[in-house]
A = this chain, B = another copy of it.
Amino acid sequence: MISNIAELIADRIGTMPAGERRAAQTLIASYPMIGLKTVAEFSAAAGVSSPTILRFVARLGFQNYPEFQSSLQDELAAQLQSPATRTLNPPSPGGTGSPMLEATLDNMRETFRHLSDKQLADIATRLAERRGKTFLIGGRFTDPLARYMAAHLAVIQPDVFHLAGQESMWRDRLIDMGKRDVLVIFDIRRYQDSLVRFAEKAHQRGVQIVLFTDQWLSPIARFARHVIAGRTAVPSAWDSSAALFVVAETLIGAVTRQLEADGARRIREMEGLR
């Protein structure tokens, strides 16, 4: 079975005329970057004319040049999205035996690779400088994450509320929300209409939204001030929220650090109350 374009070329290069063979060799030499550039650049690099490049991709079975480029891009995307595949051949330090765990660890590394320290710091600062209230809510499976985060934040600062129960209950809380407030939403596939509606309402009231979602971005991203896109794919019937969970913990830690002066006193007080 031929799965990628490089193999396809290797398979058919024998039947190609001289010019197209030069095109093939040029592409293989710096695969696949040249193929992502324009026909003119490709042809110049190969030392042939534009039509030769087009005949080349036609011989590979593509209807036109853009289709060929899309195919290359899909291939690249697949490589980039699953670092596991890359490290699959040499089972480097992994070898834990559990593909589930390996995928989860990869997800976390990927998630944090796309997440700058600055972005996290910004969100943490926004949550720490508590000019207003903080609301948290989640979807069917992600609401526990909202609860987890709320449980921690509520310890180190006042005015932290988890929105539970029916949709109608949340909407009643909208009346309390304004420009100075922050709404943290967890929403991954399949995205819940009720959450989207709620986010829109809150956005209209000027509430700043922090969204935890998957890499395909919940429609709530339209209204969000900050978006955290985590990786959720694992070899299971379910999506994994573990990466988002770790981001949430990191954020909790960052907020705690920023509130250290205030927070430490608060925590001591609370301990005293128990």
Per-residue CB proximity of A84-116 to B under 8 Å, as 1/0?
001100111100111011001100110011101
Q: Are A217 and B29 interface neighbours, CB within 8 A? A: yes
**Is residue A39 within 8 Å, beta carbon to beta carbon, of the partner chain?**
no
Nearest neighbor of A248 in chain B, beta-carbon distance: B242
Q: Interface of chain A, helix or strand or loop or mixed? A: helix
**Is residue A151 within 8 Å, beta carbon to beta carbon, of the partner chain?**
yes
List A64-86 residues whose CB lies under 8 Å from chain B. 73, 76-77, 80, 83, 86
Q: Are B215 and A80 interface neighbours, CB within 8 A? A: no
Q: Are A119 and B10 interface neighbours, CB within 8 A? A: yes
Most buried by B among A7, A90, A217, A222: A217
Whether A236 contacts B221 in the complex (CB less than 8 A), given A87-B92, A245-B242, comes out as no
Size of the A side of the interface (Cβ < 8 Å), in residues, is: 82
A33 touches which one: B47, B77, B237 (CB < 8 A)?
A: B77
Q: Are A96 and B76 interface neighbours, CB within 8 A? A: no
Per-residue CB proximity of A225-249 to B under 8 Å, as 1/0?
1010100001111101110011001
**Is residue A262 within 8 Å, beta carbon to beta carbon, of the partner chain?**
no
Q: How many copies does the complex hold?
A: 2
Q: Are A252 and B238 interface neighbours, CB within 8 A? A: yes
A26 touches which one: B25, B83, B221, B250 (CB < 8 A)?
A: B221
Nearest neighbor of A227 in chain B, beta-carbon distance: B25
Per-residue CB proximity of A163-188 to B under 8 Å, as 1/0?
00000000000000000000000000
Q: Are A242 and B246 interface neighbours, CB within 8 A? A: yes
Whether A22 contacts B221 in the complex (CB less than 8 A), given A73-B36, A92-B91, A100-B253, comes out as yes
Q: Are A151 and B145 interface neighbours, CB within 8 A? A: no
- Beyond the given pairs A25-B229, A92-B93, A98-B112, 15 more chain A to chain B contacts, judged by CB atoms under 8 angstroms and listed by A's residue number, are A6-B116, A26-B217, A29-B217, A33-B77, A83-B86, A96-B109, A143-B147, A144-B147, A234-B249, A236-B252, A237-B267, A240-B249, A241-B245, A242-B246, A245-B245
A-side residues, CB < 8 A to B, are: 6-7, 10-11, 13-14, 21-22, 25-26, 28-31, 33, 36-37, 47, 73, 76-77, 80, 83, 86-87, 90-93, 96-98, 100-101, 104-105, 108-109, 112-114, 116-119, 122, 140-141, 143-145, 147-148, 151-152, 215-217, 221-222, 224-225, 227, 229, 234-238, 240-242, 245-246, 249-250, 252-253, 256-257, 263, 267
